[in-house]
């Protein structure tokens, strides 16, 4: 090929992506608020946004860092409770308290990520899985019982924290999705992100190259926790009531299923899987009894036949697609069978 290959400058790529995302938010909001669709679709759309954030955040520690934490729902719970307590106990008007609440939820969850990550990340593999599971359960037990121990009303225990302003909307949920994806994407493209990836590939080799393993593991883990906290804060604003039982082990598994099916290490995969697995039960209510069985079989079959998940480590890139279009390579790559993947995200 003698012709110089066309490449899209980075600023143009960001601009195009931002424009497409803005069009998605504005268009989506216009369609949903026009009343053409039943209002429960709006609810499901918000829920999908929350699940996408949860899945994408778990993907940092599972996909990029290569660890398997099983207490992700615990971080969601921390974020949800932190922001809900902030919103209900301070007199700040809900419109202002909500964004602040998300930040606080993410910050507190991130802090918990650091506190739990430092001891837990000394372990590997199965031990890490079980210890994070243990921490997740402890968080739930504490939320359930802390009131009766300390003797004041903080989390309301099993009665649930009620009266949280329902401030989550389609627009702010999906803006948060966009922000999360953008931040994670830029983090992973940075020097720090590459350090995290190198730990996944070979911990000992990474360490001998001078990468501070403990620092980067904790960083990635707490980042993962912080975004889970943000998802929790949105969840609190979505439901208006919080109960520790909503953040049990099953919730952690649900998020894990999304990440594994989508492909560990693929953000696009996590997003597609989160959308499908949240929308599908609503669409297929008749098959509800079999849903969990299908999930578990999919999990096993994926591991046996395609351990990398649906998209593997493939990530969707608008920039690459445009470049390929201009260079006339789009179909060539499909013919070589490398370009498979959904056009979502």
Within residues 214-273, the interface with other proteins by CB under 8 A covers 238-241, 243-246, 249, 253, 256, 260-261, 264, 272
- Least Å distance, CB 41 to other proteins, is 6
Q: Which residue has the tokens 């929790």?
A: 232
- Residue 313 within binding range of other proteins, rule CB under 8 A: no
What x-and-dash track marks residues 92-121 binding other proteins by CB under 8 A? ---------------------------xx-
Is 153 or 322 the residue whose CB approaches other proteins more closely? Answer: 153
Beta-carbon neighbour count of residue 295 at 10 Å?
Answer: 17
Structure token digits, residue 118: 């430092």
Closest Cα partner for 142 from 91, 90, 71? 71
- Residue 299 within binding range of other proteins, rule CB under 8 A: yes
Q: Which residue has the tokens 């949903």?
A: 32
- Residue 20 within binding range of other proteins, rule CB under 8 A: no
Q: Contacts with other proteins in 40-59 (CB under 8 A)? A: 40-41, 43-44, 47
Is 27 or 163 the residue whose CB approaches other proteins more closely? Answer: 163
- Least Å distance, CB 199 to other proteins, is 14
Task: Enter the DSSP assignment of 4.
Answer: P
Burial class (CB in 10 A: 0-12, 13-18, 19+), 300: exposed
- Residue 134 within binding range of other proteins, rule CB under 8 A: yes
Q: Which stretch binds other proteins (CB under 8 A): 20-28, 94-102, 181-189, 302-310?
A: 302-310
Number of residues that bind other proteins (CB under 8 A): 84
- Residue 304 within binding range of other proteins, rule CB under 8 A: yes
Q: Contacts with other proteins in 170-199 (CB under 8 A)? A: none
**First-to-last CA distance in the chain?**
32
Among 89, 122, 189, 194, binds other proteins (CB under 8 A): 122
Among 163, 186, 194, 328, binds other proteins (CB under 8 A): 163
Structure token digits, residue 114: 């650091």
- H-type alpha helices, the chain: 10-33, 39-59, 72-89, 94-120, 125-150, 170-189, 191-201, 203-208, 213-239, 249-262, 267-283, 288-305, 318-327, 330-335
Cβ(249)–Cβ(263) under 8 Å? no
């Amino acid at each position: 090929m003698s012709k110089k290959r066309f490449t899209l400058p980075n600023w143009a790529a960001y601009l195009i992506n931002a424009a497409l995302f803005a069009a998605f938010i504005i268009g989506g909001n216009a369609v949903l608020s026009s009343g053409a669709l039943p209002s429960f679709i709006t609810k499901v759309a918000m829920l999908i946004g929350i699940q996408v954030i949860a899945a994408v955040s778990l993907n940092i520690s599972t996909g990029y860092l290569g660890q398997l934490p099983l207490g992700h729902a615990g971080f969601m719970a921390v974020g949800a409770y932190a922001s809900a307590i902030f919103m209900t106990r301070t007199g700040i008007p809900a419109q202002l308290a909500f964004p602040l609440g998300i930040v606080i939820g993410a910050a507190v969850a991130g802090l918990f990520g650091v506190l739990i990550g430092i001891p837990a990340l000394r372990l590997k593999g199965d031990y890490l899985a079980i210890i994070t599971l243990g921490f997740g359960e402890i968080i739930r037990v504490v939320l359930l019982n802390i009131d009766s121990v300390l003797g004041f009303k903080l989390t309301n225990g099993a009665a649930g924290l009620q009266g949280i302003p329902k401030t989550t909307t389609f627009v702010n949920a999906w803006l948060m999705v966009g922000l999360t994806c953008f931040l994670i994407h830029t983090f992973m493209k940075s020097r720090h992100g590459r350090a995290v990836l190198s730990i996944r590939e070979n911990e000992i080799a990474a360490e001998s190259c001078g990468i501070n393993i403990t620092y980067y593991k904790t960083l990635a883990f707490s980042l993962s926790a912080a975004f889970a906290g943000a998802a929790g804060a949105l969840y609190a604003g979505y439901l208006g009531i919080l109960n520790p039982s909503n953040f049990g082990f099953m919730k952690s598994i649900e998020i894990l299923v999304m990440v594994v099916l989508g492909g560990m290490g693929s953000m696009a995969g996590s997003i597609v899987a989160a959308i499908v697995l949240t929308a599908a039960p609503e669409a297929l209510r008749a098959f509800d009894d079999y849903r969990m069985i299908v999930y578990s079989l999919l999990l096993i079959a994926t591991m046996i036949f395609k351990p990398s998940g649906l998209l593997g480590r493939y990530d969707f890139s608008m920039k690459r697609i445009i470049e390929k279009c201009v260079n006339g390579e789009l179909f060539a790559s499909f013919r070589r069978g490398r370009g498979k993947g959904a056009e979502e995200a």
